[in-house]
Each structure stands twice: as structure tokens, then as C-alpha cells.
Amino acid sequence: MKILLQFPEGLKQHALKHAKALEKERNEVFVSATPSFGACDLAIEEAKAIGADKLVHFGHNEFKKANFNVEYVPYEIDADMSILDNSLDMLKEYKKIGIVTTVQHLHQLGQVKEFYSRNGKEIFIGKPYGFAKAHGQILGCDVGSASTIDSIVECFVYFGGGLFHPLGAVYGTTKPFLSIDPFIKKMEWLDRYREIHSKASKGKIMRSIDARKFGILVSTKTGQHNMNLAKMLKNIIESNGNDAAILIGDTFDFYSLDNMLEFDAFVSTACPRIATDDIDRVRKPLMNANEVLELMKIRKQE
């Protein structure tokens, strides 16, 4: 069988090992060298270009049904859980706790629940909206596992590495939010980021108040493609007396966007985190759909 392997950045270091193992099973194996941002970002066009029978995507579970033979290989990482002992003092005011994690630590979520239950806490695990597949799992674009239990918990605990995933959940909830990173042995309340996020969002809308020409980004990535939303936004923007064009790309290059000098502002219909995490990488305001709709509303009221 001809197989293309695809790894997210953190797992690319293991590519050769997996390629050799599959070659031993008499497969012809290739490795995608382009960046991969998630299971929304499948290298299907590369697989088709080399005539592969299958794409093996490591590190994530399924995001959206793909029109190609894709095997998902989630990568479990056994993180040291001893750090949880130190969190009890930080959580002493709270009894009802919602816990979330990433796909890499889903197999440890039961142990996290058991630890806190043993220490007198009542633990809640929410259900994702659909892009994430397991209860308690969060993605940068699916924080349902946290927001669906926001009204019943007193605080949240995220167990896992980095800030990318928990910050999405912080923006989508209202309760105190503790991040426990077992890799760098750091525990941190992330609540201050809600205000930073909200100010940045309002700032982008205000900077766009005189914008008349909008570039609407549509990604060709399998899980980020949202042409219907882009067309709807184009209609709304133009019916409010502005100009808009739909801009197509796979991974958007911010340098290229900066070169599109005619546009006063950009609107992303791709990964929702582009318009929150990457706004400083482009000179013009870069908004999400809800922000440009808010802008249109404000301008109508003026």
C-alpha cells in the first residue's frame, strides 16, 4: 500500500521511526513535510498528488469526515500527575470542578477525576460541540467540554501542556480557570486573559470603524473550509455599502496579506484562532465573523 504520513509539528521528530515500521510491513511510505495545525488540516491533496492509497494522520482524532481514506492515530502522552498534589491548596475554595484536557491526555482524565474525587471534590466533565470527539476534550475551536458545564461548576482545571488549548476554554467560560501544565510543572490562573481577549476584540472593531474594503479569508484546509459563511458575510458587508472580496489560501501568509494594500480589514472564516492569536502578525485589523457583524451593527446605529 502507498501511504502518506502526516504529523503535527511536535511529533515530526518521530516521522522516520514510523515510516520504517510501515516499510517493514511492505508499504511504500512517504512523509508530509508541510506544517500541520490539527486534524482540520489533512494533507489530502499531497496524498492524492503522489497517488497514495491512505493518509495516516498522527496526533489527533477525527475532526470532520474527509473524502479520502484517512487513518487517525492519536498520540497518548503519559504526563507526570504528581503536580496535582500541589493544586489542592489553590483549589481549596472550590468544591464543584470541571476538568478538561487535550487528546494527548484523555486517557489520564479518569485518573485526574479520581484524584480530585478522593480529595473531596465533585468533578464534572462536559461534552464537546462536535469537532472534539470525547467528553472532557478541548480543541482550540471546540471548548464545549468546558462551556456546557460553565453554569454548574465553581471553577475549571485544565490538565495538559501549553496555553493554546486552555485559552480557548477561558474565552468560552466565565468561572475561575486553573491551568496545570505537568511538563513545565506550572500552575496558573488564566482568568486575566478574558479581559485581554475582550479588549483586543473591541479594539479590532474600533480600528475597523472606517474600513470600507474587506478581504474575507477562506481556507482550503478540509476542516477549516467555510465558503458558505464567507459568501454570507460578503453579501452582508456589500449590502452595507462596502466592497468585499473572498481570498483563498491554504495556510494564510501574513506577509502576503500585508501586501494586499487595497483592503482596510480582513475577516477570517478559517480557524477561529487566527483572528485571536495572530492579529499582531498582520498590519490591518483581522476579525472573526461575529466581530465584523458587530461592526456592521455599530455602523448602522451611528
Q: In the complex, which residues of this chain contact ligand SF4 (CB under 6 A)?
A: 37-38, 40, 139-141, 223-224, 271, 273
For residues 223 and 285, which CB has a smaller minimum distance to ligand SF4 in the complex? Answer: 223
CB neighbours of residue 195 within 10 Å: 9
To ligand SF4, the closest distance from the beta carbon of 234 in angstroms equals 21
For residues 55 and 271, which CB has a smaller minimum distance to ligand SF4 in the complex? Answer: 271
For residues 28 and 62, which CB has a smaller minimum distance to ligand SF4 in the complex? Answer: 62
For residues 40 and 169, which CB has a smaller minimum distance to ligand SF4 in the complex? Answer: 40
Which residue number has the CB closest to ligand SF4?
Answer: 140
To ligand SF4, the closest distance from the beta carbon of 284 in angstroms equals 21
DSSP symbols for 213-282: EEEEEEE-STTT--HHHHHHHHHHHHHTT-EEEEEEESSPPHHHHHH-TT-SEEEE-S-TTHHHHSGGGS
Degrees to nearest 5, angle at CA 163 with 157 and 169? 55
> What distances in angstroms separate CA 4 from CA 12, 68, 201, one per listed residue?
13, 12, 39
To ligand SF4, the closest distance from the beta carbon of 40 in angstroms equals 3
Q: What is the CA radius of gyration of the chain?
A: 21
For residues 139 and 216, which CB has a smaller minimum distance to ligand SF4 in the complex? Answer: 139
Q: Look at residues 278, 273, 10, 37 and name the one whose alpha carbon lies nearest to residue 166.
A: 273
For residues 116 and 131, which CB has a smaller minimum distance to ligand SF4 in the complex? Answer: 131
To ligand SF4, the closest distance from the beta carbon of 168 in angstroms equals 7
Burial of 170 (0-12, 13-18, 19+ CB in 10 A): buried
To ligand SF4, the closest distance from the beta carbon of 250 in angstroms equals 13
To ligand SF4, the closest distance from the beta carbon of 5 in angstroms equals 19
For residues 208 and 268, which CB has a smaller minimum distance to ligand SF4 in the complex? Answer: 268
To ligand SF4, the closest distance from the beta carbon of 219 in angstroms equals 9
3-class DSSP string for 107-140: HHHHHHHHHHHHCCCEEECCCCCCCCCCCCECEC
Q: Determine contact, residues 5/31, Cβ cutoff 8 Å.
A: yes
